[in-house]
Amino acid sequence: MQSDPVATEQMSIAMAGHVDHGKSTVIGRLLAETGSFPDGKIEQVRAMCQRNARPFEYAFLLDALKDEQAQGITIDTARCFFKTAKRNYILIDAPGHIEFLKNMITGAARAEAILLVIDAAEGIRENSTRHGYMVSMLGIRQVAILVNKMDSMGYDVGRFEAIKAEYSAFLAKINLEPLAFIPISGREGANLTTRSAAMPWYQGPTVLEQIDAFKKPEPPVAMPFRFPVQGVYKFTEQNDDRRIFAGTVDTGSVAVGDEVVFLPSGKHSRVASIERFNAPADPVARAGEALGFCLHTQIYVKPGELLVKAAEIQPSVSTRLRANLFWMGKAPMIKHKTYKLKLGAARSAVTLVNVVNVLDASELTSVRNKQQIDRHDVAECVLECPKPIAFDLERDLATTGRFVIVDDYEIAGAGIVLEALRGQDSVLKDHFLERERHWESSEVSADRRAGEYRHRAKFVLLTGRTEDGSADKAQALAKALELRLFWLHFKAYYLGARNVALGLDAHFDEGGYSGDSRIRRLGELARILTDSGQIFIASIPDLDVYDIQTLELLNKPNEILVVNVGGTPIENYSAAFTVPAEASVDGGVNAVGMLLRQKDVILEYSI
Amino acid sequence: MNHLDRLEAQGVRILREAYRDFKDLAMLWSIGKDSTVLLWLTRKAFFGHVPFPLVHVDTRFKIPEMIAYRDRLAMEWHVNMIVGQNVEALRDKQTFPDGNLTRIQCCRRLKSEALKHTLSGDWPRLRLDHASGEYVVDSKPEPFTGVIVGVRADEEGSRSKERYFSPRDKDSEWDIGDQPPELWNQFKTDFAPGTHVRIHPLLDWTELNIWEYIERENIPVVSLYFDQGNGTRYRSLGCYPCTKPIDSKARNIAEIIAELRTGKLKNVAERSGRDQDKEDGGGLETLRREGYM
C-alpha cells in the first residue's frame, strides 16, 4: 500500500533580521513549543548550560556548532525541521551579522517565505533594511515582520505601531508589502504559538498561524516556456541511441510536436519525445519538472542555450544588459576585468562597463560617480558579454532574469536584469582602438618584410567540429601546412592551442574562467606574430562567429583567413575556404596553398 | 507537483550541474538507503545511465549482506564501481574492533583517511570488472575533483550547515565559517586547483522523504532495514561493531513510514544507534571538518 504523500507538504521559511534581534531564540522556542526537538535534546542542552554555568537559552538549541557557541552568533544558515497539522517546515536560520551576509542570502534564497525579526527596543537597524532589500531583490513576496522583545518595552502598543509605520514606509519604497506585523517575545513565548495575554491590543495571527497562512508557491506553468539546457546527452552504452536535451523546465509548458527554438543560436526544431526515467509517460512537460527532450531534427547546440517555444514571447538576445547587482566578493568588482556570468544554464565571460549608481542598501540613498562596486554594495550597472546571451527581464520572468557573477572561483555577485541594451560599441572594440593608438611600430615596414620573405603576413585559422572528427583533421592539416610552407622557405609558424593553455594561459589565474579569455589571448598573439611578418597558423575546434569576429578584430590591421574543415558550416559566417570532410590532408594542404596564392599572400608561384 | 516531485527535480538538477562542470566526478555509495536513493536519482538524471564512478570505502567491518547487495546492483545497473580501504590499518589491526583504537580514531583511520586517499588516488583503488564480476586493481587512479555525497541536513547539527556544492581545501578540510553563497540554483562549480567540491543533492530531504521516495519508486534496499523476525531492525547502516539495531517490528517500507510519521520513532534521532557520535560533544563535527561524510 502506497503511503499518502500529500500528508507531508513541505515549505521553507527563512528568518532574517539584524544581529542580536533574537532570531535564533524565536526559532528555538518555536521548535520547543511545537515538540519538534528529538527526545532528550532540550535536556542535553540544559545540562550543558549547567555544566558551563551559563543560563539556558533557546538559541543554544540551534547553535549546534562549536564555533557559534563560542561567538554567540549564527555564522551560517542552519536548517531545522518542524511540523504543524498543516504541513512540514524547513526553518532556515540566517545570520544577522554583516560579515555573514552571503550566508543570509543563501538562507533566504532557499525560502518560500520570510520572517524578518526587529528588536522592539533597538528598532530598525542597518541590517533590518539591508535584509529587507535583499529579500525584495531575491524575489520573495511572502514576508511577515516579527517585532521581537516586546517584553523589554513593557508590551507597549505605541512602540509597536511606531516600528510598524517606519518599516512599512521603507518596504513600500522597495515594492515589498508585508503580510503581517506581529508583536512577539521570543524569550517569553508571547504570540509565537499562543496568543499573549500581555498584548490584548493585538488581534492578528500568532507566528505559527501566520506560518500556516503562507501559501505554497505553485510552479509557474502559465508563463512562457523556458528551458535552460544543462546537458546534451548521448549515452551509447547498452545500445541507447537517444540524443537528449536535458534540463529543468523553469516556467511554462511544452508538448510533443511543439516547435521550439534554441537561443542565442536561433536553431529551430520540434519536440519528438519527452524523456523521463521510471515515470509514467506524459506528452506535456511542465514548470518544475527535470526531464529531457528528443527532437525531430539532428541539431548541434551546446549546453547553456535556452530552449523556448517558437509561438510564444521570445526572450532578449543581447551582449549588453542593465542590471541591479549585489556584490558579496572580498575584492570589489572593477572595470576592465573579465568575470564569469552564470544565467540559467548559460555561462559567459562578462565585464563591467559602467556603474550607473550605487545604492547604500542600509540607508537607501544612492551614490553616483562610483567607478567600482564594493562589497555589500547594490549597484545599478551595465554589463557586457563578448557573445550574445538569451535572458528575460526580471520583472517579466524572474527565473531567466537572474544571474550570478563568479570572481576568483566564488559566486561574488547576484543580479537581476532590468533592460537589454544594444547598438553600442563593445568593450573589446574600445580596447582594440586604445591598443592600436599606442602600438609601437618597428623600423621595418610590413612591405619590406613581405619583399624579403616573399609573402605577406597572414593569420591562417583552421577550425572543425569536434563531434564529427573534423577538429582533429583541422589540426593535422594546420601542421602539414606549416611543414609545407617551411620546406618552401616561408616564415610560417604553427601554434598548438594546447601550448597556449599550458604556457601563457597558465600564468593567468582567472578564478576558473578562461573560455573567452583564451580566444582573446590568441588574438593578441596573432597581432604580434603577423606583425613580425609571419604566416601564423592555428587550429581551434568548434569556433563560432563571435570567436572569429574577436580574432579578426584583435589581429587587425593584419588579415585573417578562416578555413573550415568538414561538412558542418559555421553558423552565420562564411569561411574563406571549406575543406570537404572526404579530402585527404595532402589535398587540403594543396588547396589551402592555392588559396594563399590566389589571395596574394604568397607573392610568386612556389607552392 | 508534490513534495517528492520537487525534491526529486532539485536532486536531478544538482546532479546534472555536477556532471556538466566536474570532469573528474564520483559519487560515494555507502550502500545505505540515502546514497542508494542518490544512485537512483542519478539514473533519473541520466535516463537510466550512471555516467560517473561510484566509490565505496570498505572498512571490512560492514555487514556482509551490504557487500552482496552492492555488487548485485553494480552489476545490474552497469555501475563503474570503485572500492577503497585502509589496507595498512587493517593489516596492523589499528581498529576499534581489534581493541587498539577508540571508535572515533577508528572512524578516522578506516573511513576518513581511506576516503581521502581513495579520492585523491594516492592509495590503490579496486575497480569492478563487469566481464568477470571481480574487483581488479585500478591501473591509473585520477584524483576526483567533484564528489557527490548523500548527506541530509536533518541528520545532525553540522550537516544542517552544508551547501549543495560545498568546497573542501587541499587537505579535505571544511571551512564552515566561510562558505560560498548559493542562490537561484546557481552553485559553486568553479574551484581552484588542488581543492575539491562535495555535492549534496539530498540536503533538503528528511529521513521520512527518503523512505517515501523508496516506496514510490520501488527502489531495492538492503533487507537489514526491516524486522528480521526478532523485533529489531537497522535504522542506519554502518560497521557492525558500532551500529546497533533498534527495537522495531516494521517489516516493510510502509510500516517504516508509519513508524516515522506517527509511531515511536517520531522524535528519536536517526543516528541514535551510531555509537561514535556520542564519544565527545562535537565528535562528528570534528570528523566532518576533517573530511568525514
Is the domain of A191 the same as that of A230?
A: no
Mean pLDDT of chain A: 86
- Inspect the interface and report whether the beta carbons of A138 and B183 lie closer than 8 Å: yes
Chain A: closest CA distance from residue B89 (Å): 30
A137 in a domain, yes or no? yes
A286, A153: one domain = no
Residue contact B3–A10, C-beta within 8 A: yes
Instruction: Residue B51: list chain A partners with CB under 8 A.
Output: 235
Closest-approach residue (CA) in chain A for B197: A409
One domain, residues A189 and A41: yes
Q: What is the CATH number of the domain that holds A358?
A: 2.40.30.10
Total tally of structural domains belonging to chain A:
4
CB contacts under 8 A, B 231-290 vs A, are 254, 257-258, 261, 267-269, 281-282, 285
State the pLDDT confidence band at A3, using cuts at 50, 70 and 90: low
Q: Is the pLDDT of residue A605 over 60?
A: no
A433 located within any domain:
no
Same domain, yes or no, for A92 and A189? yes
What band does A603 get if pLDDT is binned at 50, 70 and 90?
confident
The answer to whether residue A300 scores a pLDDT higher than 90 is no
> What pLDDT score was predicted for residue B282?
46
Write out pLDDT tens, residues B251-290: 889 988 888 887 666 655 565 555 555 544 445 556 555 5
Where among A428, A459, A493 does a domain terminate? Answer: A428
- Would A607 be classed as within a structural domain? no
CATH code of the domain in which A58 resides: 3.40.50.300
Rg (alpha carbons) of chain B, rounded to whole number: 18
Confidence of residue A1 (pLDDT cuts 50, 70, 90): very low
How close does chain A come to B28, measured CA to CA in Å? 22
Residue where a domain stops, chosen among A187, A213, A239:
A213
User: What is the least distance, in Å, from the CA of A258 to any CA of chain B?
Assistant: 22
pLDDT value for A7: 53
Say yes or no for a CB contact (<8 Å) between B191 and A414.
Answer: no
Query: In whole angstroms, what is the distance from residue A494 CA to residue A486 CA?
Result: 10
Using the beta-carbon criterion (under 8 Å), do A233 and B47 form an inter-chain contact? yes
Residue A401 lies in a domain: yes
CB A5 to CB B3 under 8 A?
Answer: yes
Is the Cβ pair B16, A231 closer than 8 Å? yes
Is some CB atom of chain A closer than 8 A to the CB atom of B208? yes
What HEC string does chain B produce? CCHHHHHHHHHHHHHHHHHHHCCCEEEECCCCHHHHHHHHHHHHHCCCCCCCCEEEECCCCECHHHHHHHHHHHHHCCCCEEEECCHHHHHCCCCCCCCCCCHHHHHHHHHHHHHHHHHHCCCCCEEEECCCCEEEECCCCCCCCEEECCCCCCCCHHHHHCCCEEEECCCCCCCCCCCCCCECCECCCCCCCCCEEEECCCCCCCHHHHHHHHHHHCCCCCHHHCCCCCCEECCCCCECCCECCEECCCCCHHHHHHHHHCCCCCCCCHHHHEHHHHCCCCHHHHHHHCCCC
Residues A459 and A385 grouped into a single domain: no
Question: Using 50, 70 and 90 to split pLDDT, how confident is the model at A97?
Answer: low
B43 near A CB under 8 A:
yes
Q: What is the pLDDT of residue A53?
A: 79
Assess if residue A241 is contained within a domain. Answer: yes
- Higher-scoring residue by pLDDT: B219, B259: B219
Nearest CA in chain B to A343: B186
- Give the ipTM: 0.89
- What is the tens place of the pLDDT at every residue in B161-204? 678 998 887 666 767 667 788 889 999 888 887 778 899 999 88
Q: Is residue A473 assigned to a domain?
A: yes
CATH code of B3-205+280-289, in short, is 3.40.50.620
pLDDT value for A75? 46
- Does residue A24 sit in the same domain as residue A117? yes
Q: Contact at 8 Å (CB) between A282 and A253?
A: no
Instruction: Judge whether residue B105 has pLDDT over 80.
Output: yes
Q: Given an 8 Å threshold on Cβ–Cβ distance, is B285 in contact with A9? A: no
Domain residue limits, chain B: 3-205+280-289, 207-277
Residues A40 and A119 in one domain: yes
B79 in contact with A at a CB cutoff of 8 Å? no
Do the domain assignments include residue A220? no
- Do residues A373 and A420 both lie within one domain? yes
Residue A239 sits in the same domain as residue A190 = no
Domain span holding position A369: 319-428
Residue finishing a domain among A394, A428, A462:
A428
Q: What is the pLDDT of residue B206?
A: 84
Give the pLDDT score at B116.
Answer: 87
CA–CA gap between residue B272 and residue B283 (Å, rounded): 14
Is residue A22 included in any domain, yes or no?
A: yes
pLDDT, tens digit (0-9, with 9 covering 90-100), for A52-76 = 777 777 777 665 444 444 444 444 5
